[in-house]
Amino acid sequence: METLGIDVGATGIKGSIVDLSSGILVGEKVKIKTPTPATPEAISFCIKEMITTLAWENKPVGIGFPSIVKKGVCYSASNIDETFLEFPFQDYLEKELSTNVKVVNDADAAGIAEMTFGKGREDTASLVIMITLGTGIGSAIFYNGVLVPNSELGHLYYKKSIFEKYASNSARELKGLSWKAWAKELNQYFNHINHLFSPDLILVGGGVSKQFAKYSQYLNVPCRLETAQLLNDAGIVGAAMSVHTK
Ligand code: BGC
């Protein structure tokens, strides 16, 4: 079976049709810049454009979204427009697109994909934490293969703010940090997570996971720490998978 998965990020929106039996992207991967302001109307417009490009009209769509999402309603808006707070995005999109839509947290989506098709699939009998490093920091916690949704570990307090403001990839870019300087913050972050949860495996996802070799030598965490196998496509794959889960 194939389904369209869309990963909405604070910087870019990426989508592709996904083969759900293998987790492999089928055909073209479409990318659109996230509009500013990133309002429900503006994002819905981009999603419609993507659906037309991929000829996926009136078929089910799964969306990974950078917000706490409960039953399709958004409850946080750290890197998107504030109009999303308490906004029933899933219902809104179902009306706009005239089809079944599932909206879930983007990091949870990436984690589900990684646990099913990536490195996590061998670690279902343990505590696995997936961390996505992008504009924000997303997290997905799995215990014995079961997701604890909406964990928001990027928002743990750190220095005068939250870890996301220091250890995300956008913090590295914004502050022009060297890999070594950025990895110092990242090291604090992963050690903090390790101290709080004692995970068996931390999986690093998001765009910058592709460049893991540039900063991994500066990380010293007393637990397994590896890059996600699906790298930056995990969000798309997990979004597509979410359509067929409860
Ligand atoms: C959001 C999370 C999201 C993460 C990654 C954070 O700012 O609060 O919900 O998973 O960014 O996009």
* Residue 31, pLDDT score: 97
Instruction: Measure Cα distances from 34 to 60, 132, 135, 214 in Å.
Output: 22, 18, 12, 27
* Residue 149, pLDDT score: 97
* Residue 231, pLDDT score: 72
Distance 26 CA to ligand 1 centre (A): 26
Q: Are both 34 and 98 inside the same structural domain?
A: yes
* Domains in the chain, number: 2
Residue 138 resides in a domain: yes
* Pocket flag, ligand 1, residue 83 (CB < 6 Å): no
Angle at 239 between CA 183 and CA 197, to 5 degrees: 45
* Pocket flag, ligand 1, residue 132 (CB < 6 Å): yes
CATH code where residue 184 lies: 3.30.420.40
Q: Are both 67 and 83 inside the same structural domain?
A: yes
* Residue 201, pLDDT score: 95
* Pocket flag, ligand 1, residue 131 (CB < 6 Å): no
* Residue 120, pLDDT score: 86
C-alpha atoms less than 13 angstroms from C-alpha of 111 in its C-beta half-sphere: 32
Q: Are both 95 and 129 inside the same structural domain?
A: no
Residue 115 resides in a domain: no
**Residue of 49, 88, 94 lying closest to 72 (CA atoms):** 88
Question: What are the backbone dihedrals phi and psi of residue 131, each rounded to the nearest 5 degrees, phi first?
Answer: -120, 125
Residue 112 resides in a domain: no
Write the burial class of residue 58 (CB in 10 Å: 0-12 exposed, 13-18 middle, 19+ buried).
exposed
C-alpha atoms less than 13 angstroms from C-alpha of 225 in its C-beta half-sphere: 23
* Residue 123, pLDDT score: 78
Q: Are both 155 and 98 inside the same structural domain?
A: no
Residue 117 resides in a domain: no
Q: Would you state the structure tokens that stand for residue 194, as one six-digit string?
A: 């390790």
* Pocket flag, ligand 1, residue 106 (CB < 6 Å): yes
Task: Give strand pairing partners of 140.
Answer: 130
Q: Are both 133 and 87 inside the same structural domain?
A: no
Q: Are both 103 and 11 inside the same structural domain?
A: yes
| Residue range of the domain that includes 31 | 2-107+234-242
* Residue 53, pLDDT score: 97
Distance 65 CA to ligand 1 centre (A): 8
* Residue 246, pLDDT score: 73
Residue nearest to atom 4 of ligand 1 (CA): 138
Q: Distance between CA 190 and CA 198 in Å, rounded?
A: 11
Residue 159 resides in a domain: yes
Residue 66 resides in a domain: yes
* Residue 17, pLDDT score: 98
Inter-residue contact 138 to 110 (CB < 8 Å): yes
Q: For residue 154, give the ligand 1 atom closest to its CA.
A: 6
Q: For residue 164, give the ligand 1 atom closest to its CA.
A: 7
Residue-by-residue pLDDT tens, the chain, 246 positions: 999 999 999 999 999 999 999 999 998 999 999 999 999 999 999 999 999 999 999 999 999 999 999 999 999 999 999 999 999 999 999 999 999 999 999 999 999 999 999 988 887 779 999 999 999 999 999 999 999 999 999 999 999 999 999 999 999 999 999 999 999 999 999 999 999 999 999 999 998 999 999 999 999 999 999 999 887 799 999 999 999 887
Residue 174 resides in a domain: yes
